[in-house]
Structure 1
Amino acid sequence: MDGVIDPPSSAHRLTPENLAAKAGTETVFLATVGKALVGCVFVAESHDHFYVGKLAVAPTAQGAGVGKRLLGAVEQFARESGKPILELQTRIELIDNQKAFGRMGFVETARTVHEGFDRPTSITMRRVLG
C-alpha cells in the first residue's frame, strides 16, 4: 500500500514480537494452501462486537476468495460467541476494499482522522449479523 494510502500502513510497524503479543490478546485466523500461509485476520473482542483487523491476503492468493472465507470464519466465531456485530476500518483511498466489504454486508458508520491529519483518513464499517 506504499504510495497509495496516507498515513502509511501500520503494517510497517509489525514485528514477530508484537504479532505474538497481539495473538495473545486477540483471536487470529489463518488461511493456508498446503504449508504456505496465504492470509490472516485478527479479531479483538469488544463489549458488543468483534473488531476485525489486520486482514491480509498474499498477492498470489488475492481474488481467490481467501478474504471472504476468513471473514466467514470470523462471522461464525462471532455468532458462537454471541456477538451480533462485526466492525472494521478501511482507508479512504481503498475504494475497492470499501466496495468489497459493502458486498459482504458492511455499511459505513463513521469516518475517522489519524493524528496530524486535517481530513478523514479511515472509514469505519459495521455488519450486523442476521
Structure 2
Amino acid sequence: MPSTAFHLRLAIPEDVPAIEAIVEAAYAPYVPRMGKKPGPMLDDYAARVAEGVVQVATRDGTVEGVLVLLPGEDHLLLDNVAVAPSAQGSGLGRFLVAAAERAAADRGHKTLRLYTHETMTENIAMYLRLGYAETHRVTEKGFERVYLEKRVK
C-alpha cells in the first residue's frame, strides 16, 4: 500500500521531465477556460531548476508535486504550485502551500504572495480558505491575474 507521507526536496535536472508532465496535466484543464496556456505551462523548468527555485514533493520515490518559490525584496512569491492528477485530493496541495509559508518565514519574510488567473476560481477560493487576502487584480504579460498574500510567522 502506498504511503501518504510526502517529502520535499530541491529539484535536480533529472526531475525536469516529471515537473513538466505534472505542470502540463495540472494546468491543462484551464486552457479552454482561459483560451490559452496558463503562464506556468510556458516556463522553462530546466532553467528554473538550475536557478535553484524549484522543489519537488515525492511520495514513495515518485515526484507528485512541484513548488516554485521566487525571492522578492520584502516577500517570497509562490510562483507555481502543481499537483499530479493522481495525487489530487491527497492533501499534497495544502502540504506544498504550507511548505511555501514556512519557507517565507524561515527566510525572514513576513509575507507570502502569489497570483493566479481570474478564471481559476477554485484556486482563488482555496487560497481565501487558507487565510490569503486578495490585494489587487492586474493585466500582466497578457494574463488577468489576481494577487493574494498572507502574513506568515
Deviation, 1:6, is 4.0
TM-score (norm 2): 0.73
Percent of aligned pairs sharing the same letter? 26
Q: In the alignment, is residue 8 of structure 1 matched against residue 37 of structure 2?
A: yes
Residue 29 of structure 1, CA deviation: 2.3
Give the unaligned 5+ runs of structure 2. 1-29
User: 2 CA distance for matches of 1:57 and 1:75?
Assistant: 17
- For residues 47-126 of structure 1, the aligned pairs below 5 Å read 47-115=73-141, 121-126=144-149
Unaligned ranges ≥5, structure 1: none
Report the Cα offset of residue 94 of structure 1: 1.1
The one-letter amino acid of 2:37's match is P
Distance in 1 between the 2:81 and 2:144 partners? 18
> Are the aligned partners of 1:26 and 1:42 in contact in 2 as well (CA < 8 Å)?
no
Q: Deviations over 1:49-94 (max 9, x none)?
A: 0000121001111111101101111111111110110000011111
Counterpart-to-counterpart distance in 1, 2:52 and 2:128: 24
Contact 1:89–1:122 (CA under 8 A) maintained in structure 2: yes
* TM-score, normalised relative to structure 1: 0.85
Aligned residues: 124
Rounded Cα–Cα distance in structure 2 between residues aligned with 1:67 and 1:93: 19
